[in-house]
Structure formats: structure tokens, C-alpha cells
Amino acid sequence: MKLFLDTANLDEIRDGARLGVVSGVTTNPSLAASAGIGDREAYRSAVAEIASFVDGPISVEVVSTDTQGMVDEGRDIANWIPNPWVKIPSTIEGIEAIATLAGEGIRVNQTLCFSVNQAILGAQAGATVVSPFIGRLDDIGHDGIALIRDIADLFREAAVETQVMAASVRHPLHCLKAAQAGAHIATVPYRTLIQMAQHPLTDAGLARFIADWQKASQT
């Protein structure tokens, strides 16, 4: 399972990219707003900067809700950077926009996916990747990981090319479970990426190794 960073914070993306394990970045209007990005030009220049230090797809979300508006925005975003994935919501207007953009060879990340049926529609429309939101499903008492498994199983059995990207990831257990459920990609907050490396026994073991080595070198 590949790991993408789910943030529009340039410092986090720069630090994350340095680790050598990040294959792409996802942004959305809320993440952009929380990174201080307040208009389309600022979004465009932030995305260009992200693309300068991440060698992989960068997802950029449209803010129109009608099909034509999404298509127009998608065509524009497709020219921003070398490897854009246009994020289109899983509405019926969005499905039509996905079909139009995919038909023009533009890569689409179908976002705000909460059901297998939405994923089936997006795959039929030609989405490159579908993003089930696992954290938001868990928040309302549903099973986000089960949705990842259901979509991944179905797509694998039917040889569907659309990939499954676990989104709305909240903690390291989501990463583990998403990988086991068959997600091709998990897009994770920077904090979660760091937490994936943390284990108290690693810290305790390292402290013991260093202490033993220092004791030995003093005798």
C-alpha cells in the first residue's frame, strides 16, 4: 500500500517528502483553508510548490457543485502541475463530470465516497482512484474499513482498474487495517505518518543499546 500525505501544509509536506516514503499528496478546500490558502491563485501557487518537492500525483479539489463548473475547474487544474489528480465529489453531477474529464484523459480522484454504489459509479465513469472516507464513517458508527474491503474485493474480482485510496485516516490502526483490507493507497495526516514509526519497545531497545555501548566503551 502506497502512502500519500493528506495536507496542504507546505512545511509538513516538505518534511514528509524527505522521509522517502511519500508517493503523493491529497488536498481539499478545508485543508487548504487551514493552511492559510484563501483563494484560487494562492491554491494554485501552493500546489505548484508542493509539486516541486513531491514526485507523484497531487490531488486538487474542485469547489463547484454543478457538472459544467466541475468540468471547467478540472480542465484548468489539469494544467497547473505535471501530475494532477482532480478531486470530484461522489454526487450524480460529479459522476457526469468524472466521465467527461476521464474521457479527456484527465486523472480523477473520486472523493467523498461513502458507499460501494458510489464507487461502482465512479469506476464506470473512469475515475483513476476512489477515496472512501473511513474516519467520517467511523464517526457516525459505521465501519469505514469494511467499506474499503468491500470496494477492494469487488474491484479485484471484476478486474476494475480504478484504485482504492483510504481517506479520512485518523490514526495508525486505520493504516494497518486499510492495508489488510486491500487499499492500494492510504492518504494520511503528517502526524499519523510519524506515529506509524513509533513503538515504545523500539525506543526502550535503542536506549538500552546506546547505554550498553557507552558502558562498554568506558571500561
Interacting residue ranges for ligand E4P, rule: CB under 6 A: 6, 26, 28, 111, 131, 133, 135-136, 167-168, 187
Whether 87 is catalytic: yes
Nearer to ligand E4P, 59 or 67 (CB): 59
Query: Which C-beta is closer to ligand E4P: that of 135 or that of 182?
Result: 135
Q: Which DSSP letter does residue 133 get?
A: B
Cα dihedral sign, 194-196-199-202: negative
Catalytic residue (one of 2, 87, 177, 215): 87
- Strand, helix or coil at 100? helix
CB of 26 to ligand E4P, least distance (A): 4
Residue nearest to ligand E4P (CB): 168
Shortest spacing between CB 63 and ligand E4P, in angstroms: 13
* CA–CA distance, 138 with 129 (Å, rounded to integer): 21
CA–CA distances in Å: residue 122 to residues 50, 135, 169:
27, 20, 21
CB of 205 to ligand E4P, least distance (A): 33
Say if residues 184 and 6 touch (Cβ distance below 8 Å).
no
List active site positions.
87
